[in-house]
Structure 1
Amino acid sequence: MSEQTPPPESLLPYDRWTEEAMRNVALRALEFAARNGLPGEHHFYLTFRTDHPETKVPGHLKARYPQEMTIVLQHQFWDLTVDRAEQKVSVGLSFGGVAATLVVPFAALVAFWDPHVRVGLRFGELSATDGEADEVPEAVAPEPTPPAEPSEPKTDSPAQVVSLDAFRRRPNKE
């Protein structure tokens, strides 16, 4: 096949399957943390759309972050639940000493990042009608120094796209 010939259109929904698999990785990590707590130095950054109609955040946070917000699940969070039937994640966090419960639909998730092991996933938008992925997601390496506070605004700098091979562990060849 020459480089100028476009690949044939797939009759299989690989992009949707990939999106579902990547979301499932993030959800399984959250479910593990909900059951067992975070092991070792693992901690999660979750980025989600605050403007999604089913996202529930306190008004003062929605006013401060009208489109997107990143939270950190590390030392002080509670009541983390992943409800696959409702397709939502909920968690309790403290913002400036004020407790709040956030409810984030799976469709509003934008990114998942575990900096301890450098696992980062970025998600495409889900269709509101059928939950299918509209675009193929790509693995990304978020900024090397994430925000110090869970509610710091993100910069508009483009994400660095990397191959999934960068996250795979390789055996020592000695």
Structure 2
Amino acid sequence: MAKTIDYGNLMHEAMRGLIRKVLAAVAQEGLPGDHHFFITFDTMHPDVELADWLSDRYPEEMTIVIQHWFDNLEVSADGFAITLNFGDSPEPLYIPYDAIRTFVDPSVEFGLRFETQEYDAEEIDEDEEELPQDAEVKAFAPKDEDDKPAGPKEAEIVSLDKFRK
């Protein structure tokens, strides 16, 4: 049994589950209202699948927009496949959830950012199976001038580093 609870990886897992559920709903029912997504992902991730010309053009990361035109959205437990239009050229992509760096729905001011932190070898416990990861979540707590619930307000970033010793 691990000597500590790995909250960073647990949070990442929960946030990726949220993305999976949102994309699964969109695959079945389409995008509701003004919702649309900006998804930035690591193009160097070994399980990302994209055309060679796209990986040449975006050698480190790429941001896709899921809004007006997309096709063949298929959501699985590990990632999602989608066909997007790049300059009148439909291109299929496969993006594993653990390649995602940011997921933003600007229509409702919601966003998630996944970050990893470098650790010295001495800081890593030998019993740990994975390196701990830090995550930031943009949390929204709408309130009006009387501190009562109201419409959306600006994002407040909460970093897991605040809770580390």
Q: Tell me whether the two structures share a fold, i.e. TM-score over 0.5.
A: yes
1:168 CA displacement: 2.7
Q: State the alpha-carbon separation in 2 of the partners of residues 135 and 119 from structure 1.
A: 21
Within a 5 Å distance, the mapping from 1:13-162 to structure 2 comes to 13-84=6-77, 87-124=78-115, 134-140=132-138
Task: Name structure 2 gaps, 5 residues minimum.
Answer: 117-128, 144-148, 151-165
1:169 CA displacement: 3.4
Task: Name structure 1 gaps, 5 residues minimum.
Answer: 1-9, 126-130, 141-163
1:42 CA displacement: 0.3
> Quick one: which amino acid aligns to residue 124 of structure 1?
E
> Quick one: which amino acid aligns to residue 105 of structure 1?
P
Q: TM-score, normalised by structure 2?
A: 0.73
Q: TM-score, normalised by structure 1?
A: 0.70
Q: State the alpha-carbon separation in 2 of the partners of residues 73 and 22 from structure 1.
A: 19
Q: State the alpha-carbon separation in 1 of the partners of residues 24 and 130 from structure 2.
A: 22
Identity rate, percent: 39
Say if 1:132 and 1:104 are closer, same or farther in 2 by CA, change over 3 A. farther
Q: State the alpha-carbon separation in 2 of the partners of residues 132 and 104 from structure 1.
A: 21
Q: CA RMSD in A?
A: 2.0
Moved over 2 A (4+): 131-134, 168-172
Number of residue pairs the alignment of both structures matches: 132
CA deviations 1:117-164 (Å, max 9, x no partner) are: 010001135xxxxx9673120025xxxxxxxxxxxxxxxxxxxxxxx2
Pick the structure with more helix per residue. Answer: 2
1:23 CA displacement: 1.4
> Quick one: which amino acid aligns to residue 118 of structure 1?
E
